[in-house]
Structure 1
Amino acid sequence: MESGKQLTGTLALAVFTAVLGSLQYGYSLGVINAPQKVIQKHYGRALGVWTERAAVLSENSTQEDELSDHHPSVIMYWSLSVAIFSVGGMVSSFLVGFVADVRGRIKGMLVANVLAIVAGLLMGFCQMWKPHIMVISGRAVMGFYCGLSSGLVPMYIGEIAPKANRGALGTLHQLAIVIGILISQVLGLDFILGNDDMWPILLGLSGAPAILQSLLLPLCPESPRYLYIKLRNEQEAQKSLYRLKGTHNLTADLEEMQREKEEAEKQARVSILSLIRSSVYRNQLFVALMMHLSQQLSGINAIFYYSTAIFARAGVAQPDYATIGVGVINAVFTMVSVALVDKAGRRTLTLVGLGGMCCCAIAMTVGLKFQHEFSWMSYVSMSAIFLFVCFFEIGPGPIPWFIVAELFSQGPRPAAIALAGCCNWTSNFIIGMTFPYIQELLGSFVFILFAVFLFGFTVFTYFRVPETKGKTFEEIAAIFQKGPKEMPLSPKDDAELQQLKTTSDA
């Protein structure tokens, strides 16, 4: 098959190298949770919380832990350690387009790796000074790195992937994230690194993938689209294409990039502000932002937050291991998505995923409500958790990350990815900060709220999200210009499009 010939060793190396950044992102997401009690105890010691009360309390470590856990200063610094990661990502996500255009995709990832290595060193050597300050600083820098990485990686993969395999290769970003989360869960077990002596190493390993990626990135070709369209270096773009696709006939790829280049030359530079204001790109942007919102407002983070408690209520002897089981399911079904996304299509898998999650959220609510009356209802909740994760990774988990690169042409693509990334990070931060309060307010009915969101996103996807499988970037843009009923642009939009096309010529 033609598409099979396009999957060369160089392409595999380039994709593998890029998703090391995604692995690092996933590891950083999950690593802070497992050693929470241990880290809080060290915060308490550094802040003098325990020694101030040493005369009152015995040397019992349990009493020390309890005092550290509930001290306002420890709670504040711990909350900041968790939240600052998302804040860093929110800020740097706006810089994705700038870094990608000024430094390129490969050099952009190399520059970002400096941040990851610095963050790993800050956390790895946190006991040399004040651990709470060092960890918070490291998490902030790591969040800043991950905000860049979560935009640069899907952009690079989307631009180098063959059209027939763009979905499967794009899904590898999410697969690497969930594998990173799983690795952090396993290494965070008490008898491995999540203990009193080894926890700084556990946090410091967050920067390890950046070292390997920095060694491999110089071996990877730059994005041909970036070279051809942005730098206007046709010779280097052809070399990059040849390295990525081997002896495969490059004529069709060059012609597609030429058309995209001609279109980009007719347009003024699309900044984030002009993209927000433009009615020409409004439909694409609305779809992109809604898909990222559907990922975060689905309740997936709440599921991970709540899963250990549900497993404990169900009588599972080791709920931590059951939570790791959820992580394994997470990874397995992301691989299922890799296999299906270029066959079933993005829209179909997103619809199946969102609809299935909606049903699971309702089942979760029923299980939580009646688990005290009927013991077997706990197993309904457990099953709902596993199925919820399965449906999430089939579509709503991986697809929003790479579909943004498909919805936009070269001109507005960096700005669109920056906005979508900021939307993702911001909604993630809001859910993380508000879920405990929502849970307290709604109790066992908390997942009904997410079921309502999921139903709304399912309806939106059905009516507004087009299928992008196997289509060129120009064909996808044409879908939005024509609209669902194949109607032309409105006079206002047509006038704006013509203005955008002629501004640079003027």
Structure 2
Amino acid sequence: MHGPVSTTQHIAGETKGATPQTTVYLYMAALLSAIGGFLFGYDTGVVSGALLQLRTYFDLNIEWQEVVVSITIAGAWICAVLAGKLNDWLGRKPTVLIASCLFSVGSILMAASSDKWTLCVGRLIVGFGVGLSSMTTPMYIAEVSPTEYRGKLVTVNQLFITAGQFIASVVDGVFAADERNGWRFMLGLAAIPALIQGVCFLFMPESPRWLCGKSKDQQAHEVLRKLRGKNVNIDAELRDIKMSANELETTGSGFILGKVWADAFLRKRFIVGVMLMVFQQIIAINTVMYYSATIIEMSGFRDKRIAIWLSAGVAFFNFAFSTVGVYLVERVGRRILTLSSLAGVALSLAVLSGGFWIGGSHSSAVTVPKDLAGPCASYDFCKPCLDDHRCLFVSNPAGDAGTCLPKIEANANRSVYPPDWIPEDRICPVAGNLGWITFAGLALYLISFAPGMGPMPWTVNSELFPLWCRSTCFSIATAFNWLFNLVISLTFLTLAEALTQHGVFFMYMCFTISGFIFFYYLQPETKGLSLEDVGRKAITPVH
């Protein structure tokens, strides 16, 4: 076991010349709590590949597919609303343990489900765990970390989220060949890390800031000593924490949100925190993550296993470039990471929109004479054929020969087309390699998103508010995150049909540009300030 690692600090509110240190105990607390981030990523990411099997196994239409994806998000939203009160009442540590139990129970129930209703109940329970974890984990890490390492350690939570999404996509790929029961393993394996976290976190500390807020000063001193190391003077840090705790006693009762809104300084912070969470969702991150295999399939990759493995490649970009955020967060700051990330995301959404537009313009032609009369006989290309809900496009495996047929007649009489031909009612075969444009757009999206708009909403919200209103404001911001996550994921497939695939990504691009403008003028920089200093000082953006 290594001893503490020290650096020199000159931070406002702390004693100059003190030597803040990191200990193994601190890293264990941060990493074990970040398993909640891993589970958050795994349980929201695994559905991308599992959905391709679930829609066949349970015969899910578009509406049911959206429900299976979105019910987890609905559960997360419900518990995000409750998480603030739960954290204030029970503490950060018990809330993490409750989330671990919910992850375990939900994962086992999904793996054992025999109908779509049981599956959805399991997805809902997992969503409860995601909601508690998504708000509690970054706040816990921020509250146990010294100022110099806070940004890095909170950003590690986002790294774990993306690692969970990447591992989920690999698991999807491994079990893709088992089309009947592969989804059970995909959904059930999350119980293993959940149980590991639940057992190991029993030995981790409560947040010293929460302990001070409950007038447990001696316990807070003991925890802070273990987190900082034996040879570090913690008096100045503990004094600042107690001052914040005193504010909690005098200010943190009654209608907290009303007090925040009445204070112009905190109101602006609250708006920025909430809008960071809102824009993280409306720029379509979870459309990309939840539906990546479906998006790749839409772009012309008709083999489900290829689509699943390509989505694993997309998830790897998300994980790999999250490490860039960990490296840069204390070097360039939160504000620059946010703005540069939004600029790259806007460009990638333009590529995605353009890729689908080009692909739609080059969809397969109707090359086989139509033997059946009716409205479907008038179409010459796949895309207008599928735009008509009465028709489906049937093509050879290569996708270079096909015909447009009425759904009812084609399904009732499969002898009207060769036995090896593939009927499609959603996806057009795309000429040439145009599907790779979409894959490139997805990769560029996550390369841009992962270092900035991935971790920054969570990092900044864990820092913006004083202790007396931190849980409440962070909980509300997290609830907005999950609410808009729900709206975006619940509407993507429907909007892709109504606006076309290129149209829906163009809409997301417009949202991203508006977010860049908003945060350019309003987002403050919190790099290099203690949580207590951030809570007291009016910080304005520099532009």
Using the aligned pairs only, state the percent identity: 29
- Aligned with 2:47 (options 32, 39, 43): 32
Q: Which residue in the other structure is 2:222 paired with?
A: 239
**Counterpart residue identity of residue 414, structure 1:** S
Q: Which residue in the other structure is 1:134 paired with?
A: 118
- Aligned with 1:86 (options 55, 63, 73): 73
**Counterpart residue identity of residue 468, structure 2:** G
Aligned partners of 2:175 and 2:182 also within 8 Å: no
Q: CA deviation at 1:190?
A: 5.6
Residues 1:77 and 1:458: Cα distance change in structure 2 (over 3 Å): closer
For residues 190-228 of structure 1, give each alpha carbon's deviation from its aligned partner in whole angstroms, at most 9, with x where no partner exists. Answer: 646853234323322233222111111122111111111
Q: Which residue in the other structure is 1:456 paired with?
A: 514
Residues 1:194 and 1:290: Cα distance change in structure 2 (over 3 Å): farther
Matches within 5 A, 1:66-465: 68-70=59-61, 77-127=64-114, 131-189=115-173, 191=175, 195-228=179-212, 230-246=213-229, 247-269=231-253, 271=255, 273-274=257-258, 277-280=261-264, 281-304=266-289, 305=291, 309-310=295-296, 313=299, 318-371=306-359, 372=361, 379-443=436-500, 444-465=502-523
CA distance in 2, matches of 1:388, 1:121: 33
Aligned partners of 2:92 and 2:136 also within 8 Å: yes
Q: CA deviation at 1:135?
A: 1.2
Aligned partners of 1:34 and 1:188 also within 8 Å: yes
Residues 1:361 and 1:201: Cα distance change in structure 2 (over 3 Å): closer
**Counterpart residue identity of residue 322, structure 2:** T
**Counterpart residue identity of residue 467, structure 1:** E
Aligned partners of 1:312 and 1:319 also within 8 Å: no
**Counterpart residue identity of residue 145, structure 2:** A
Q: CA deviation at 1:434?
A: 1.6
Q: Which residue in the other structure is 1:22 paired with?
A: 37
Q: CA deviation at 1:141?
A: 1.1
Which structure features the higher share of helix residues? 1
Q: CA deviation at 1:268?
A: 3.9
Q: What TM-score does the superposition give when structure 2 sets the normalisation length?
A: 0.77
**Counterpart residue identity of residue 527, structure 2:** K
Aligned partners of 1:275 and 1:412 also within 8 Å: no
Q: CA deviation at 1:31?
A: 1.9
* RMSD between aligned residues: 2.6
For residues 398-428 of structure 1, give each alpha carbon's deviation from its aligned partner in whole angstroms, at most 9, with x where no partner exists. Answer: 1101211200011100101110111010000
Q: What TM-score does the superposition give when structure 1 sets the normalisation length?
A: 0.83
Query: Helix, strand or coil for the counterpart of 2:468?
Result: coil
How many matched pairs?
A: 452
Q: Which residue in the other structure is 1:497 paired with?
A: none
**Counterpart residue identity of residue 329, structure 1:** F
CA distance in 2, matches of 1:37, 1:297: 24
CA distance in 2, matches of 1:352, 1:20: 28
Q: CA deviation at 1:259?
A: 2.6
Residues 1:277 and 1:79: Cα distance change in structure 2 (over 3 Å): same
- Aligned with 1:466 (options 508, 524, 531): 524
CA distance in 2, matches of 1:355, 1:114: 39
CA distance in 2, matches of 1:315, 1:149: 35
Q: CA deviation at 1:94?
A: 1.3
User: Is 172-181 or 404-413 further displaced after alignment?
Assistant: 172-181
Q: Is there any run of 5+ residues in structure 1 with no aligned partner, and where? A: 44-67, 486-506
User: Is 252-261 or 342-351 further displaced after alignment?
Assistant: 252-261
Q: Which residue in the other structure is 1:502 paired with?
A: none
**Counterpart residue identity of residue 530, structure 2:** T
**Counterpart residue identity of residue 389, structure 1:** L
Residues 1:112 and 1:385: Cα distance change in structure 2 (over 3 Å): closer
Q: CA deviation at 1:17?
A: 0.7
Q: Which residue in the other structure is 1:56 paired with?
A: none
Query: Helix, strand or coil for the counterpart of 1:342?
Result: coil
User: Is 106-115 or 91-100 further displaced after alignment?
Assistant: 106-115
CA distance in 2, matches of 1:360, 1:40: 29
CA distance in 2, matches of 1:31, 1:206: 10
Query: Helix, strand or coil for the counterpart of 2:329?
Result: helix
CA distance in 1, matches of 2:235, 2:313: 47
**Counterpart residue identity of residue 401, structure 1:** W
CA distance in 1, matches of 2:536, 2:111: 50
CA distance in 2, matches of 1:388, 1:469: 25
Q: CA deviation at 1:450?
A: 1.7
Q: CA deviation at 1:9?
A: 0.3
Residues 1:300 and 1:326: Cα distance change in structure 2 (over 3 Å): same
CA distance in 2, matches of 1:410, 1:276: 12
For residues 318-340 of structure 1, give each alpha carbon's deviation from its aligned partner in whole angstroms, at most 9, with x where no partner exists. Answer: 33222111111100100110111
For residues 150-208 of structure 1, give each alpha carbon's deviation from its aligned partner in whole angstroms, at most 9, with x where no partner exists. Answer: 11101100101110111111111111111111111111226468532343233222332
Q: CA deviation at 1:365?
A: 2.7
Residues 1:83 and 1:409: Cα distance change in structure 2 (over 3 Å): same
Q: Is there any run of 5+ residues in structure 2 with no aligned partner, and where? A: 1-6, 10-18, 363-430
CA distance in 1, matches of 2:163, 2:177: 17
**Counterpart residue identity of residue 453, structure 1:** F
